[in-house]
Amino acid sequence: MNIRRISNRVLLVSFLALSGVVYGEGEQQCQPEVVVFFGNGVWNDVENANLSKIVLQKRLEKHIIGTNLEGMITYKLAYNPSNGYLEDLLETFEQDLQTNYSLFWNYLAEWDIMPDFLQDKILTIAKEVDAAVVSANPSVQEHIALYNTYLSEGKMIVLVAHSQGNLYGNIAYLGIDPQYIDGFGMVSVANPDSYVAGGGPYTTINEDFIINSILSALPPNLDNFFGPLNWGDIWGGHNFIKSYMAPGHKAEAKILNDVVSMVNELIPSNTEAVEIVLRIIFSRWSAVILVQHL
């Protein structure tokens, strides 16, 4: 009799240990997937924007080797269409003029001494974009629909936004379904705006002449190079690949770490949480039934 009880107890312990292992494995497999989007700025065609996404993907995949995120991330492009230099310039002017006419012209007046190529680039950066203008943009509406679809499936989303992509991202954030908002986060790079939606981290290097020329933009928070700018970047230290993802420099490391930290802070949708709770309940329920039959 005692031997039988001991055998049953051993069986119970073995079952609980096994169920714990199975649940652990299942939980790992059921970890919500992460979708990292790259949001480009103006003057990028699809090919250039996709190249930036690929660079981000390769660097981040290398960065997370051996961590719980390895194999859990997929990468997408939140493309903001570029219609050419002139049309992008006019679009930016329109956005600025609709939001703050006087600030726009005061801003222009301060840059008379800049070289033409830098001044022209600076003039195209949107500042204080009217939410109604951007939200009416079909691209933003497409992004919002895509984000909500992934979030409703229990996935988590991190948007890595560069330059004017931050303006689109800040507005898109307002369109995220409230029940999924905890699963969406932004990592800002070279942000011309004065905030990051959701309070996410940002990186603006001291050498970025473009963003640092905008008085109300978030201040620079990183010294990335020894000199005033990366001379391989003709756009004044602003280019995503050449300046912000320059291998071995501080900005690259900060951006990658910010993405990982953001993922760890996000919370998946209720659907995913319910599935995990049901697994726990089933595991405990199975153990109780086994005990009753001992």
* Domains of the chain and any CATH numbers: 32-268 (3.40.50)
pLDDT at position 236 is 73
Question: Of the ranges 2-11, 67-76, 125-134, 223-232, which is most confident?
Answer: 67-76
- Both tokens assigned to 83: 């219609």
3-state SS assignment for residue 39:
strand
pTM over 0.75: no
40 phi/psi in degrees, rounded to 5: -85, 165
Angstrom distance (rounded) from CA 67 to CA 118: 42
Q: Which percentage of the chain shows pLDDT scores above 90? A: 44
174 phi/psi in degrees, rounded to 5: -70, -20
Please calculate the CA angle 41-258-49 and round it to the nearest 5 degrees: 25
Per residue in 36-88, pLDDT (tens digit) is: 999 998 778 899 999 999 999 999 999 999 999 999 999 999 998 866 554 55
Where is pLDDT greater, at 228 or 96? 228
- Number of Cβ within 10 Å of residue 152's Cβ equals 14
Treating both helix axes as pointing N-terminal to C-terminal, what angle do 101-109 and 85-99 enclose, rounded to 10 degrees?
120
3-state SS assignment for residue 31:
coil
